């Protein structure tokens, strides 16, 4: 099973449509659950202490949705960048030898708090580019679909 836990709600119709399309495409390969948790208001004028509190509150909401036996992959600017084939291999090995429950965590706009970082089994950096959190969900789903297509020797990934 794949679970994606993300801070914030998707509002844009085109993003919702993309997410729905990848959910449909992933159904033959894995059970998928997407959980949204509320975000905190974080004005630009926040102090570092206020931002730390925002990350802590959002982190508590994220952690409340994670079970002990889940393997947690945190989307993180300081994570490891890998290619699609390596992601496919990682998913296959995790689901075969470690945990059938893989949880992807997408923190809020300020990033993850320390407790979320500490809970992560692995930190994944999608790119050196910056994406909205909404688009990050679409990109994660697309890469998951690509990984399953690779594992099933389908030509989508080329």
Q: Which residues of 134-144 are buried (b: 16+ CB within 10 A; e: fewer)?
A: bebbbbbbbbb
pLDDT at residue 158, as a whole number: 59
Residue 45: the pLDDT is 84
pLDDT digits (tens, 9 = 90+) for 36-83: 999 998 878 889 999 999 999 999 999 999 999 999 999 999 999 999
Would the annotation count 127 as a binding residue?
Answer: yes
Q: Is 74 annotated as a binding residue?
A: no
> Residue 59: what pLDDT?
97
Residue 137: C-alpha distances to residues 44, 55, 58, 98, 155 (Å): 23, 19, 17, 24, 23
pTM of structure: 0.95
Residue 126 is assigned to a ligand binding site = yes
Q: Domains in the chain, start-ordered, CATH in brackets?
A: 2-157 (3.40.1280.10)
Residues written for the chain: 158
Question: Which residues neighbour 28 within 8 Å (Cβ) at sequence distance 6 or greater?
Answer: none
Alpha-helix runs per DSSP H in the chain: 13-26, 48-63, 84-93, 114-119, 133-151
Measuring CA to CA, which residue among 51, 66, 158 is closest to residue 112?
51
Q: What six digits make up the tokens of 144? A: 């998951």
Q: Rounded to an integer, what distance in angstroms lies between the CA atom of residue 45 and that of residue 48? A: 9
CA separation for the pair 27, 106 (Å, rounded): 21
Q: Which two tokens stand for residue 3?
A: 């679970």
Average pLDDT, the chain: 95
With beta carbons less than 8 A apart as the criterion, state whether 72 and 119 touch: yes
Q: 53 a known binding residue?
A: no
């Amino acid at each position: 099973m794949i679970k994606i836990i993300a801070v914030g709600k998707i509002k844009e119709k085109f993003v919702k449509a993309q997410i729905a399309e990848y959910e449909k495409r992933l159904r033959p390969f894995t059970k998928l659950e997407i959980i949204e948790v509320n975000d905190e208001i974080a004005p630009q004028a926040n102090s570092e202490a206020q931002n730390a509190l925002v990350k802590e509150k959002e982190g508590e909401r994220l952690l409340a949705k994670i079970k002990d036996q889940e393997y947690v992959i945190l989307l993180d600017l300081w994570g490891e960048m890998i290619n699609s084939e390596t992601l496919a291999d990682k998913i296959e090995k995790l689901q075969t030898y470690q945990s059938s429950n893989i949880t992807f965590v997408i923190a809020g706009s300020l990033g993850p708090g320390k407790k979320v970082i500490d809970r992560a089994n692995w930190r994944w950096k999608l790119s050196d580019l910056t994406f909205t959190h909404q688009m990050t969900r679409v990109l994660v789903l697309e890469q998951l679909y690509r990984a399953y297509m690779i594992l099933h020797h389908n030509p989508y990934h080329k």
